[in-house]
């Protein structure tokens, strides 16, 4: 999987639909190495490759934290995918991912997610 260049360019706007539309700020997409030597089924729940794309973003709405907790593996026995919509000067894209972590601040929530799939919307 490759991340389309427009998603990394200035001017891209990201939005998550979770009990209403939430704007994502400070979005960063990077490729990381995972702690596996070969493609592996992790906990019978998801497949982990040798490398993965991660997305980090900030949501300026702390009311989403209860929804996010229910979607993360660990606090929940379900590992739901979340859909992000990205609007760029070169088109609209979707990103599917699994939330891996979140940090609640007084006025925002920082999320981390592993990107599963990207495509034109």
Which DSSP string do the residues of the chain spell out, in sequence order?
----GGGGSTT-EEEEESSSEEEEEEEEEEEEE-S-SS-EEETTTEEE-SEEEEEEEEES-GGGHHHHHTTSBTTBS---EEEEEEEETTEEEEEEEEEEEEEE-SS-EEEEEEEEEEEE-
pLDDT at 100: 84
What residues does each domain of the chain span?
5-120
The fold of 5-120 is Pnp Oxidase; Chain A (2.30.110)
Contacts of 20 (CB under 8 A, 6+ apart): none
pLDDT at 44: 61
- Quick: pLDDT tens for 53-94: 999 999 999 988 877 777 776 655 566 788 999 999 999 999
With a pLDDT cut of 70, the percent of the chain lying above it is 86
pLDDT at 43: 59
């Amino acid at each position: 999987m490759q991340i389309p260049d427009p998603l990394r360019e200035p001017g891209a706007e990201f939005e998550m639909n979770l009990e209403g539309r939430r704007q994502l700020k400070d979005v960063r997409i990077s490729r990381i190495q995972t702690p596996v030597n070969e493609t592996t089924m992790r906990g019978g729940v998801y497949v982990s490759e040798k490398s993965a794309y991660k997305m980090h973003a900030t949501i300026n709405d702390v009311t989403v934290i209860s929804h996010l907790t229910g979607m993360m593996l660990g606090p929940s026995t379900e590992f739901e995918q979340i859909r992000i919509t990205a609007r760029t000067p070169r088109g609209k894209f979707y990103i599917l991912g699994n939330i891996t972590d979140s940090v609640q601040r007084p006025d925002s929530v920082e999320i981390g997610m592993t990107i599963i799939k990207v495509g034109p919307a």
